[in-house]
Amino acid sequence: MIYKRSSQLFSEAKKVIPGGVNSPVRAFKAVGGEPVFIERAKGAYLYDEDGNKLIDYINSWGPLILGHAHKPVLDAVIEKAKKGTSFGTPTELETKIAELAVKMVPNIDKIRMVNSGTEACMSAVRLARGFTGKEKIIKFAGCYHGHSDSFLIQAGSGAMTFGTPNSPGVTQGTAKDTLLAKYNDLENVKELVEANKDEIACIILEPVAGNMGCIPPVKGFLEGLRKICDETGILLVFDEVMTGFRQAAGGVQERLGVNADIVCFGKVIGGGLPVGAFAARNEIMNHLAPDGPVYQAGTLSGNPLAMAAGFAMLTELHDNLEIFESIDKKTEYLHKGMDKVLNEAGVSFSINRIGSMISVHFGKEPVTDFQSSVRSASTGKFNKFFHGLLENGIYIAPSAFETWFISEALSYDDLDKTIEEVGKVAETL
Ligand code: PMP
């Protein structure tokens, strides 16, 4: 495929935008090469500035569960825009989307809208601290909760020591309140809780991880965390920014039957517009301003266009629950197909999948946490795999540390074509 115009646009972008992108992972740094500039998209396909058509497995990093430019979502936004784009006052639609979310998600009474997943997680942690009066938090190596300071803590620190910042600009003072644990390792969490008795406000995690590849929780992990929290008064925060309204209508809480105390949303809840949200039971949410002392606000929070897109998206999902089964089946089909052709090619690999999230790892050992994900990425095969697929019209995330997102817009023909290309690329690895 030719990427001449993308390349020119990237050169121009780099002169006026840091690294040429407004979010780092878009720059293809991990896999090498230059990013593809997209001109438009429809359904399962992206069309780039050079006229190439790509089958999309990123779907804007998760929001577009029904594919690009989905008509009911698009119509809702267009109609709303005609009435004005922002008022900075309450609107009826905010209540309607909140009612729908509370109906779909188990174990929540109230929900507050923000503008991104980062804001959702940042605010959830502040609320947890305000509610419990404790300052420390536990996060897991390899889990991503947005770019707010408390979460940018280096993986690989000794589990019993305080975190150290892995981005300049995060102070030691902030970092020392973030304790790092190993994903899928309950014993490690127990040790941290024991060593920091009565100091921990919350344990935050992706209940299905998608930011170190797709890594499902091992059996008993979430249940074990729930038990630890129940015994100690620590709040359990599920970051369902990727998994909310995707792993089931009610997210991982519903799919795996474990309740969280605070749940964070993003991506699907905004239907492709900038939305995040966090939710909990009344006793916790009532601590939030203006009813309670924990401050949190936003000029464009609950913005009419974003709410129109989100409401249309959630309504589609709520009224067509069979979509969840359908995308899971498509993902399973893709899994089986890739399994076959990768085996035939004789490469060492493992595929992780749960619901409509899936990732391919190259290496002999299973990928169950950040360390094993890093080891598989270090084989270097992923980068070749990525570029091989891109050259043949298949667009997966440009990093081994990302999940693929399956959309309902993908047809079985698209999946067959993908499996065929995976097979061809695998022969070259
Ligand atoms: N949490 C998770 C699990 C995420 O995957 C992301 C973004 N990929 C975020 C939080 C941050 O969301 P945003 O990029 O909208 O700030």
Give the pLDDT confidence of 300-309 residue by residue, as tens digits: 999 999 999 9
146 lines ligand 1 (CB under 6 A): yes
Tokens of 321: 């629950």
- Whether residue 347 is predicted with pLDDT greater than 80 in this model: the reply is yes
CB-based contacts of 20: which residues, under 8 Å, 6+ apart?
A: 10, 11, 13, 14, 27, 35
- Statement to judge: residues 149 and 236 lie in one domain: yes
Based on the fold, state whether residues 220 and 353 are members of the same structural domain: no
Q: What's the predicted TM-score (pTM) here?
A: 0.97
- The one catalytic residue among 80, 139, 182, 267: 267
The CA distances from residue 407 to 126, 324, 358, 411, in Å, are 33, 10, 12, 9
Q: Check residue 253 and report its DSSP letter.
A: H
Looking at the structure, tell me whether residues 101 and 248 fall in a common domain.
Answer: yes
What CATH number has the domain bearing residue 10? Answer: 3.90.1150.10
Do 156 and 278 lie in one domain? The reply is yes
Determine if ligand 1 sits within 6 Å of the CB of residue 116: yes
Classify residue 344 by burial, with Cβ atoms within 10 Å: 0-12, 13-18, 19+.
exposed
DSSP state of 417: H
Which residue is catalytic, options 48, 177, 185, 239?
239
Active site residue 239: yes
CB of 350 shorter than 6 A to ligand 1 = no
Select from 144, 148, 183, 246 the residue to mutate for testing ligand 1; criterion: most ligand atoms less than 8 Å from CB.
144
For 132, the domain range is 71-319
192 CA → ligand 1 middle, Å: 25
Same-domain status, 181 and 100: yes
- Looking at the fold, whether 312 and 373 belong to one and the same domain comes out as no
Residue 30: what pLDDT?
A: 87
Q: What is the pLDDT of residue 160?
A: 37
- Domain boundary at 319, 351, 371, which? 319
| pLDDT per position as a tens digit, 290-330 | 999 999 999 999 999 999 999 999 999 999 999 999 999 99
CA atoms within 13 A on the CB side of 82: 5
Name 179's bridge partners. 138, 162
Locate the ligand 1 atom nearest the alpha carbon of residue 121 and give its number.
10
Query: Which among 336, 420, 416, 349 has a CA at the least distance from the CA of 382?
Result: 349
237 and 373 part of one domain: no
φ/ψ (deg, to 5) at 165: -65, 140
Query: Do residue 315 and residue 328 come from a single domain?
Result: no
Domains contained in the chain, number: 2
Instruction: Give me the CATH number covering residue 96.
Output: 3.40.640.10
56 and 94, same domain (yes or no): no
Cβ–Cβ < 8 Å for 48, 54: yes
Of 349, 352, 332, give the one whose Cα is nearest residue 385: 349
Best CA proximity match to 57, nearest among 328, 353, 395, 335 = 395
144 part of the active site: yes
Last residue of a domain, one of 303, 319, 335: 319
Question: Is residue 57 flagged as an active site residue?
Answer: no
pLDDT digits (tens, 9 = 90+) for 58-102: 999 999 999 999 999 999 999 999 999 999 999 999 999 999 999
165 with 306, same domain: the answer is yes
The confidence score (pLDDT) of residue 163 equals: 56
For position 164, what pLDDT does the model report? 62
ipTM exceeds 0.95: yes
Same domain membership, residue 215 and residue 350: no
**Residue with CA nearest ligand 1 atom 5:** 242
pLDDT more than 90, % of the chain: 91
